[in-house]
Amino acid sequence: MPAQHWSPNDRACIGVLGQAPFKAEGRKRMREGGRKGGLSNGKSSDEPSVDCGESWYELAGRVLQVKPGAIKRLANLRSRAPDMFDAVRDRRLHVVIDAERLAKSLPDAADRAVVLEQWTAGKGRVPIRALATKRKQEKRIAEMAPGSP
């Protein structure tokens, strides 16, 4: 897919998947700053760094032309619920907050997969939050049913 057709979510996913080089660049800048000294030592550098103090997601956001918050949110989502990150990356979910809410409300990946399948089958007509609530209610009823372990 050509770069001009990438959505902001696509570019943010690229930033998350390629976070190792951005983190390495940040460590390199920290080491250089330590060698030169800094304002904390009463010294000022002759060449101020443009990206001084940037975190890896801010650098990635600047390079990929996407907001750093989008990259940070997707990085957190990837660490908490990799299946929801994959859904955003594969464009099954287009709204990151839906993926975050689904990951928060349903801790089990199998339940999230069922809800995501229902949502895609219904072509997104029913809000994903309502489907997650319905799934939680179904599980609660099944647990309270007589004869269940």
Structure letter (DSSP) for residue 92: S
Q: Are 14 and 64 in contact (CB under 8 A)?
A: yes
Higher pLDDT, 21 or 132: 132
Q: Averaged over 126-134, what is the pLDDT?
A: 92
The single residue listed with the structure tokens 């650098």 is 59
Residue 70: in which H helix or E strand, if any? helix 68-80
Spell out the residues 6+ positions from residue 45 whose beta carbon is closer than 8 angstroms to its own.
Answer: 36, 37, 38
What pLDDT shows up at residue 147? 72
Q: How much of the chain exceeds pLDDT 70, in percent?
A: 82
38-52, 74-88, 122-136 — which one is most confidently predicted on average? Answer: 74-88
pTM value is 0.75
> At 24, is the secondary structure helix, strand, or coil?
helix
* Number of CB atoms found within 10 A of residue 124's CB: 13
Higher pLDDT, 32 or 92: 92
What pLDDT shows up at residue 29? 75
What pLDDT shows up at residue 51? 52
- Structure confidence at residue 55 as a pLDDT band (50, 70, 90): confident
- Structure confidence at residue 123 as a pLDDT band (50, 70, 90): confident
